Every structure is written in structure tokens, then in C-alpha cells.
Amino acid sequence: MNVPMKPTRLLTAAAATAALSLTGLATADPMTNTLGVAMTTDAQSAPLIPREALFGNPTKAQGRLSPDGAWLSWLAPKDGVLNIWLAPRANPAEARAITSATDRPIRQHFWSPDSKSVLYVQDKGGDENFLLYSINVASGEESTLTPFENTRIQIIGTSQAIKDKMLIGVNNRNPQFHDVHMLDLNSGEITPVLENNGYAGFMADDTLTLRMAMRQNAEGGSDYFRVIDNQVEDRPFETTAMEDSLTTNPSGYTTDGSVLYWVDSRGRNTAALYAQDTASGERTLIAEDAKADIGGTIRDPKTGVVEAYSVNYLRNEWTATDPELRASLDWLDGQLDGDFGISSRTEDDQTWVVWNDPVTAPSATFIYDRQAETLTPFYVSRPELEGMPLLPMQPVEITSRDGLTLPSYLTLPVGSDRDGDGRPDAAGPMVLLVHGGPWARDGYGFNSTHQMLANRGYAVLSVNFRGSTGFGKDFLNAGNLEWGLKMHDDLIDATDWAINEGIALADEVAIMGGSYGGYATLAGLTFTPEKFACGVDIVGPSNLETLLGTIPPYWAPMVKIFHERMGDPNTEEGLALLRAASPLYKADQIVRPLLIAQGANDPRVKQAESDQIVSAMQQAEIPVTYVLYPDEGHGFAKPANSIAFYAIAENFLAECLGGRAEGLDSVLADSTAEIVEGAEYVQGLQAALDS
């Protein structure tokens, strides 16, 4: 379950806010499974995009500039594992790996403000206990800045003025609460600042002075307290109700501390951007949109003043309030096809690292000199995808049965839309791909799963069902207490839309997803057992009662959100609601093929969630395929494991829907995948295990 935020957001203090009849299909080619009449000749002859090109290691990723502009850094494989690489900006050919991860890939890195060290966070086996590590650029020495066990750190504050220090939260004293410490990035010294016995998070200004503490209130909203001399005031200066709890958040101070920015939905539907004078409390509206919340901001590196903001309804769009920034964005828009954004900036703001996503070509990254107006290629993330039949993604709006507009994204099967009208020449099989969260969203852009499934012969539809974020609090709150109910109805309505539009055949729709999407898969096969042809559940909860009983301890300060939006297990009514929405209790209703994948170390959706429903299906003598990864958590970090999962999934879908699939070959041997149950229900899987 991706709640409350995505994993990278969880590292910051702001985060303190899943009888069978399997149809065997003859294969004309040992590497592919043909789709028969539903698949065009063009589609059958289109190159099969290798799984490794979509889910293996990128050639390079996450390009960064040091704040002083002297160095480039990025992630790239070293001996098959993603590590951090470094090169002088003046001579990229002198690149060298500065880390030596040999098992779990490094997936997030960033620069210290003083440009003297490169930092990264890493957990163990997917347990999400992220620690902070540092590599000194001059000496190459690597150190563990937070040398603790069973601890998860938060980054609370960094500074332009105090470049060799940062504020961090550490929960090694009490796993529920992060105590605030000052970390010296060069010596590694950690100094206690504030002992936390009840707050979900903190916010600091550019002087690394704590300014705000946040705590969930009894109603499920948030209270915001001023911090004076490292003492939290008794009374909150701002508060939100539950209805605004996921759509209202402070967005940081200007460097002089005079302005506090808010993305705020109080008294309105969509969250708007406000500037609040910290002395007087007066608020000024900066930006709003009728259809979507204000998303990100671009802020001056030195002053912290907002220079641009984004709105993401069907596509993400930036509006610049600063004339110079607007000129730069306009220039880039004229040079690049597709979406682009800034991933790194120098302290003087004259040089940017810019990413570009054309969707139908692999993403590329450039170095942009604002003054010279030059765009220098840095790297293409997955050059092996160049020339492959990558497919466009279409934003579409679907109307639910009760009148809600569901912003959605459609990718059509390879070769199916010869006249380019956005609809296939004939209806065929489809995969309904459901996002996690549920308090998250799908968006426009390159999507490896969309591309693989469409390449194999399936239409792919991703739906922002009620409860998804970004579309205003009314849309978000329409999902409250609706797990397995109206949230599920939205997915059924979207499926019926695709059938009525001639996109999907009614008896050839699969449902697939991870986290909440895994739950939606289980709900689809239990609550509407004949609607979907089959399902693929990735780390999805089967029992909402046990899910809430095993949340990570550091989510405890925010547990009221779960209870108010899902059901409170401490009340008779809430417990009944949770049990009624739990697929586990209807496991005997499953009549379609099901594939389940689980990470053994998942701290959010424990292995027991998958074990329970597999056991229930076994007791009812219902076939199921269950794949367990002993070294993974909430999803698959290791490329070999990801490739192995998608190998099993595409062959499972080929068995069910008749699409193309690469053979399994040796992918299982390269991964840690354990087939706990049901190898015989996936084409080629038992043979691969026996070889």
C-alpha cells in the first residue's frame, strides 16, 4: 500500500502527512504466442520489445549537477548493480564509480549543499529502514552518516547559508517518532536538537532553525504548531479538518523566513498556492485551477521565492511567474518534443540538468546552459529502446455511473490503430492497470508496463478512480470508506466504457496492479468474479483488518487517516466495513486465474496478506500461482527480480488472453523468485523450473 506517500517522499518530514479453466494456446514460434484473429498482421510482425530493455538497469539515470557546477553525478550499473558515478563537468569521460553496491541497487542520490560530498539513502532487502550514506568527493571515502539499526531517517531541512549541515529525523529511540538532530555532513557528528514524543514531522527555514511541527488531530486532519527555540508551542497556529488532510500542506519557507508557502484546499475544492506572511499571518493567493490541485513549484535557489508552479490534470503544465524563468522554459519547449522538466540546478541557477520524455522514444537528459542557450546531450536512459515500436499514451476522460469524471490513460495495442483515430480497428483483449496508493494517481508519460503490455497485443487502461489525488478534495474524499464499493465501481465503469468504445472485448479483460492496485485485483476477482478474465496482484492486501494491524510504527502518528478513510477497526461499524471490503473472506468466489507476487520483507503489506488468500484458495481447491521474493519489499528493486516477475506475468496473461510473450528461458535462475504455488498455470513456467 503506497500510503501515505511514495517512498521518496517518505524520506522527508513532509511525509509526516493487489473451477479455474486455463486456456492453452498453441504457439507458432517458441518465443511468442500469437493472438489469432484479434491480432493484426502488423502487430504479429512488430518487434517484440525485450523485457530487459524495459525493466532492466538503465544505461544511466538520475543525472545531477553539484551545486557549484563543477561535477556531474548519475546512477549507472557497476558489475550489474546500480551505483553512483562521478565525473568532472568539464570532462565527462573521466567518469568513475564512487560506490560499490553489490546486491541492492542504489536508487536515490543527491548532493550536499557545499558540493563536497554525494549522499544517498539505502535500506536492507526492501525493509524501508533507510539510512543515510556519504561519499567524500575529494578523498573518495564512504561513510555511514546514520549508523543505526532498525532505523528510518528523514531529511527535515537543508540550507543555502549553512552548507555543511542538515537537520535529520531519526527514530532509533522510539520507532513511532523521529527525534530531530543536526548532522555535520563532513565530520559526521550528530547533535540532538529536539526530542519528539508526538509529532508526525517538522519544517525548518534556511538557517536550519525549526519553525514548525505537525501532528494529526482527533478529527483526522492536521495541526500545525510554531516552534520557538526548539520548543513546540501548545496551540496550533493553523489546523485542517480530515477533508483537507491530504490536500493541504505547508510547502516551505523563503530563505529569509518571511514567507511560508501553502498548497491549500481549505474553503475550496482544488488546492491553491498561497503565500503567508509569517509575521502578520496574512495570506496571498498565487495560483489556482478549477480542475486540478496545484502540484509542484520551481523556486529561486537563493531566495526560495516561487518562480513557477505546475497543474497536472490530464497533462502536467507549468506556468512561470518569473519572466527570466518563463523565457528559459519557452526556449526549452521549442527545442524538445514531449514533456520535460528540471532535475538539477546549480546554485547560481545558470546551468540545469533537463529530462525529456517523448513517450514514443526513450527518455533523454541534457545539460542546459541558460545564458548561452545551449542544450548538450548528457545521456539516453535506455538507448536499447531506440527504434523499438513504442506507443503513444492517450489521456481520456471517463464518466462514472454517478457522474464523476475519471481522468484516465489509454495505450492501444501495437499495430491496432492503423488510421490513427485513437481507437483500435477492432476490439481485442485489454489489461486494466490499477495504480497503488490509493491516495496517489496515474499520470501521462512513458510507462514501461504500458509499453510491454501494448507490445504484447493488449490495450492498457489506467484509471484515476475516486480517492486518487491531484483532482481536488471532493474527488479524493469521494473515496472515503469506499474500498471495494464505489472505488471498485469506477474500475468496472471504466472497463465497460472500453467495451462500449470498441476497445476491449467483454470476456478478454484482465485486471492488474500493485499495492492498492493489487487489492483492486483481488477485489475484482472476488466481488465481481466473472467480470475479469484473470488478475495479477502485486503486493496487494487481502485483509484490511490485518493490514491496519501491521502498519509500520512510523505511520502511527498518521493512523487516523487510515481509520477515517478506510474504516476504524476499533469500532463495530468500522470493523464490519473493513471485513466486508476484504477479498480474503470471499476467496471461495474466485473463478478466474490469479497470479500473486509478494516481497517477503514488505513493511507495508506484509507477506501474510498474500499467504492468507493463497491458503484460503488452497483450502477451497481453487488454483492460484504464487511467487515470493525473499529479498524484496513493497515492489521489486532488483532488476533481475523485476524482469523475472514480468516474464511470469506476460506468460500468465498469454495463457489467459492469448497475447504474445517472450519465453521464460533463464530469467528465473537469474532472480530470487520462489514459485510457492501453481507453476503449472503459467505457460512454460514448470518447464523453466525443471530445466
pLDDT digits (tens, 9 = 90+) for 562-599: 999 999 999 999 999 999 999 999 999 999 999 999 99
Section 28-52 average pLDDT: 59
**Exposed, middle or buried: residue 234 (CB in 10 Å: 0-12, 13-18, 19+)?**
exposed
> HSE on the CB side for 449, CA within 13 Å?
22
Position 550 scores a pLDDT of 94
- The whole-angstrom separation of Cα 470 and Cα 439 is 9
Position 7 scores a pLDDT of 28
* Each residue's pLDDT tens digit, 484-543: 999 999 999 999 999 999 999 999 999 999 999 999 999 999 999 999 999 999 999 999
Q: In what order do the strands lie in the sheet with 165-174?
A: 153-157, 165-174, 177-184, 190-194
Question: In this structure, are strands 364-369 and 374-380 parallel, antiparallel, or unpaired?
Answer: antiparallel
- The whole-angstrom separation of Cα 625 and Cα 541 is 16
* Each residue's pLDDT tens digit, 389-417: 999 999 999 999 999 999 999 999 999 99
Rounded to 5°, the CA angle 626-446-350 comes to 130
* Each residue's pLDDT tens digit, 71-88: 999 999 999 999 999 999
Output the nine-digit C-alpha cell for 348: 547560481
DSSP state, 277? Answer: E
Spatial CA neighbour of 344 closest among 67, 15, 83, 2: 67
Q: Say which residue, 219 or 86, is predicted with more confidence.
A: 86
Output the nine-digit C-alpha cell for 30: 517458441
At 286, is the secondary structure helix, strand, or coil? strand
Q: How far from 653 is each of 120, 255, 567, 596, 657, CA to CA, in Å? A: 37, 53, 34, 13, 6
- How high does pLDDT run on average in the chain? 93
Position 40 scores a pLDDT of 54
- The whole-angstrom separation of Cα 17 and Cα 13 is 8
* Each residue's pLDDT tens digit, 301-351: 999 999 999 999 999 999 999 999 999 999 999 999 999 999 999 999 999
Query: Is residue 666 very low, low, confident or very high in pLDDT (cuts 50, 70, 90)?
Result: confident
**Residue 283 in contact with residue 262, Cβ under 8 Å?**
yes
Q: H-type helices in 17-157, by residue range?
A: 41-45, 51-55
- The whole-angstrom separation of Cα 495 and Cα 97 is 47
Give the total residue count for the chain.
691
Percentage of the chain beyond pLDDT 70 is 94
- The whole-angstrom separation of Cα 234 and Cα 577 is 36
- The sign of the CA dihedral 217, 223, 229, 234 is negative
**Exposed, middle or buried: residue 31 (CB in 10 Å: 0-12, 13-18, 19+)?**
exposed
DSSP for 312-331? ESSSEEEEESSHHHHHHHHH
Q: Say which residue, 40 or 489, is predicted with more confidence.
A: 489
- The whole-angstrom separation of Cα 521 and Cα 637 is 22
- The sign of the CA dihedral 38, 454, 479, 1 is positive
- The whole-angstrom separation of Cα 658 and Cα 26 is 9
The residues, ordered by sequence, that sit 6+ positions from 332 with a Cβ below 8 Å of its Cβ are 340, 354, 368, 375
At 14, is the secondary structure helix, strand, or coil? helix
Cis, peptide link before residue 603, omega less than 30° from 0 = no
Position 39 scores a pLDDT of 53
At 109, is the secondary structure helix, strand, or coil? strand
Section 637-644 average pLDDT: 96
Identity at 271, one-letter amino acid code: A
User: What residue ranges define each of the domains in the chain, with the CATH number in brackets?
Assistant: 18-53+389-690 (3.40.50.1820)
- The whole-angstrom separation of Cα 261 and Cα 250 is 6
- The sign of the CA dihedral 300, 304, 309, 312 is positive
Q: What residues pair up with 322 in beta bridges, in sequence order?
A: none
Position 45 scores a pLDDT of 79
How many of the other CB atoms lie within 10 Å of CB of 98?
A: 21
Q: How far from 10 is each of 2, 15, 129, 460, CA to CA, in Å? A: 10, 5, 11, 29
Position 42 scores a pLDDT of 64
258-283 in b/e burial notation, b at 16+ Cβ within 10 A? ebbbbbbbbeebbbbbbbbebeeeee
Query: Is residue 28 very low, low, confident or very high in pLDDT (cuts 50, 70, 90)?
Result: very low
pTM of the model: 0.93
Position 31 scores a pLDDT of 30
Query: Is residue 44 very low, low, confident or very high in pLDDT (cuts 50, 70, 90)?
Result: confident
Position 665 scores a pLDDT of 85
How many of the other CB atoms lie within 10 Å of CB of 287?
A: 17
Percentage of the chain beyond pLDDT 90 is 92
* Each residue's pLDDT tens digit, 134-163: 999 999 999 999 999 999 999 999 999 999
Place of cell 505537525: 214
Output the nine-digit C-alpha cell for 338: 514531449
Output the nine-digit C-alpha cell for 659: 497475447
Position 2 scores a pLDDT of 40
- Model confidence at 224: pLDDT above 70: yes
Q: How far from 410 is each of 400, 439, 450, 506, 565, CA to CA, in Å? A: 16, 21, 9, 17, 28
E strand spans, 45-141: 61-65, 71-78, 81-88, 96-97, 109-111, 117-122, 131-136
Q: Report, as residue numbers or ranges, the catalytic residues.
A: 515, 602, 634
Position 29 scores a pLDDT of 29
Position 339 scores a pLDDT of 95
